[in-house]
Amino acid sequence: MDYSYEDARRTADFLIEKGVSQPQLGIVLGTGLSGLAKEITVECELDYGLIPGFPLSTVESHAGKLVFGTICGIKVIALQGRFHHYEGYSMKQITFPVRVMKHLGIKALLLSNAAGAINKKYKKGQLMIIDDHINLLPSNPLTGENDDRNGPRFPDMSRPYDPQMNNLFADAAIKEGVTVHKGVYAVVSGPNLETRAEYRFLGRIGADVVGMSTVPEVIVCNHMKLPCAAISVLTDECDPDDLHPVDISDILRVAGEAEKDLTRIFVAVIPKLSLN
Ligand code: HPA
């Protein structure tokens, strides 16, 4: 499989046969953040292993399941668990599910992730609306021959995250009493966390937070002119002058605690999205 336009179409047709009919919104749930799926009135669920072309998530904290159903009457596909560069997948594999969801007809994509806080004003457990990003991954999902049916050779990235959706998230956060920042996400390949010198470097080049996901999917959304927005849950504080060791269990615990806030603002925003 080369993750072509036709491959994405075939997988979309497979999902339609399984009962995924006319989803309006896609949602990608990141590390430790799959609880939003509980808000879905489920019509069907499929393990990734059963879906042609979907890689299997190799990370235990990522469930690896597609859930189709409704939230507040909106038809959604939620991907519980995503694929990362550090798992050894190609960028085309990582972003294949987004191509498939576009074939299914989604009008917007919401993403969540866990990230480390570099900006000293940010505290763990808080959320950040991603306003812009810095791509430090060693490869790009758009390399190779461009298929013009997906989008242009040189997609514009002047507003990679939909400003209207970001405003809806900011408003929802105020209404729900949730602290939300707006800032820049730097993506690295991982899987190791950063050294003190790397956190210092990331802060100096303009990153507010750092993580290992989301940007490939967002590039593909921009390629296909699919509006997207993404929220980071800040799971650790990355102060190079006072850095404490963290491990994945700390990150998962903090993500789990912040999940309630994330879910509340997602549920507040979803009915307000314009999905035409
Ligand atoms: N660095 C990179 N990715 C992360 C971090 C971090 O500190 N925290 C959560 N994901």
Number of Cβ within 10 Å of residue 56's Cβ equals 13
The DSSP secondary structure of the chain, one letter per residue, reads ----HHHHHHHHHHHHHTT-----EEEEE-TT-GGGGGGSEEEEEEEGGGSTTPPPP--TTS--EEEEEEETTEEEEEEES---GGGT--HHHHHHHHHHHHHHT-SEEEEEEEEEE-STT--TT-EEEEEEEEE--S--TT-SS--TTT--SS---SS-S-HHHHHHHHHHHHHHT--EEEEEEEE---SSPPPHHHHHHHHHTT-SEEESSSHHHHHHHHHTT--EEEEEEEEEE--TTSPPP--HHHHHHHHHHHHHHHHHHHHHHGGGS---
Mean pLDDT of 169-181: 95
Domain that holds residue 42: 5-272
The band of 63, judged by pLDDT with boundaries at 50, 70 and 90, is low
pLDDT over 60 (residue 61): no
**Interval between CA 211 and ligand 1 midpoint (Å):** 5
Query: How many domains are there within the chain?
Result: 1
254 CB near ligand 1 (under 6 Å): no
- As a whole number, the mean pLDDT across the chain is 93
Whole-structure pTM value: 0.95
pLDDT digits (tens, 9 = 90+) for 181-236: 999 999 999 999 999 999 999 999 999 999 999 999 999 999 999 999 999 999 99
**Interval between CA 51 and ligand 1 midpoint (Å):** 29
Which atom of ligand 1 is found nearest the CA of 238? 7
The band of 19, judged by pLDDT with boundaries at 50, 70 and 90, is very high
Percentage of residues in the chain having pLDDT higher than 70: 97
CA-closest residue to ligand 1 atom 2: 211
Which CATH number goes with the domain that contains 71?
Answer: 3.40.50.1580
pLDDT of residue 1: 81
**Interval between CA 84 and ligand 1 midpoint (Å):** 13
pLDDT of residue 60: 59
